[in-house]
Structure 1
């Protein structure tokens, strides 16, 4: 969930991501996807930025992110027994089930009585997904349609009647930029090279990227490198210098400086703390 995602599923028309424990202390960079996203924070705290609006979510909160809304997530603190669920419903599936999906917008108030029904259905899906019963697939399919029933029955808004609809930008140009950065982040990249690839002037690219993503282009390049380095750091025993070089940082000093800025500790100390967990 770090960029423009192509959301894929298995034979079930939903993707569930379960967030737990220590590794969830990493931030999720601004990104978007066409899928409808529902985040249920069962235990924990996080700050979302959705279409430019900051939303602080605490235990037992639900956040709905509509298709193509740019969003990011930053856990506010690491706690034991953190549990958060992210559900992704591919847009094609929703459109197939609801012809007027293009006119739909979902708004949820965590103070409403109806939201408790949705929470229970989401948790049931999670609970059923943890079993290996023979009939599990049928239970999950049933839960999926119960979730959709709650969404469409209680929380559906018509875009044409909304006066506070967030501005969802046209993202096809940024998609090309981000795809290029992800594909070439291990290489030496420059602003000129990126702008030439997408046939935009450096000034225009810099301006629209900052407006939509909240960071500069080259800062985003290094954040992608940092995300890749984090995955290697927490899943292998490779040394810090090798990790820094493999993900594209100019030198290990730059890697350590950015890592410390984002995670408030050095890469080496982070790895040691992780082993202690």
Structure 2
């Protein structure tokens, strides 16, 4: 017996043919599967992906709602525009009213200044007239003071009494009494009390008698404002430097001093 007969061989034992065949089949199947999977993956990778979105169908109800919403929006816009136009018009009107008010205030102030100037002018004229009357009395050239304090008698007293009794009654253009008068209507009514018929209007009454100077007045004389024959106002001198006249609708029949509104001239009927 050889001395090496008991030592195992270093060579691996041979596999059987059946085992080798089975392993070969399994490997082949695995490779086939991988090949198919690879091919399938490559096919899917190469094929583009398309996504389809389905839009909702616009039904009749939805279209009506959309149209109604558009109408509401249009109406709201029109309403806002109308309101804006109204606001602009109101602002313009307010601005114009403010300007008109300022203009009216300016005119009122100018009228007030003008009236004040006219009053001052009349006051100066009255002062001058009073000074002239005083001068005439002291020099003996006139007797304004004596005539202004004279006492009416006879028909003159009746005329004076009548016109003073009408003080406080209303002024109405064209009226001749007994509850209201205009200036010439009062004078005509007064002289009618003593049987004297005077013309109806102030222009004619200013030439109805004898012209007398304002520094020689007597109670019952007719005073006039304006020119003789073209007078625009008349009254009756009642003595004491006073006269009675139906002045205007604001004052009615009043008794005032001559200095209140100095007359232009006078006529004597009695």
> Structure 1-normalised TM-score?
0.18
Larger Rg: 2
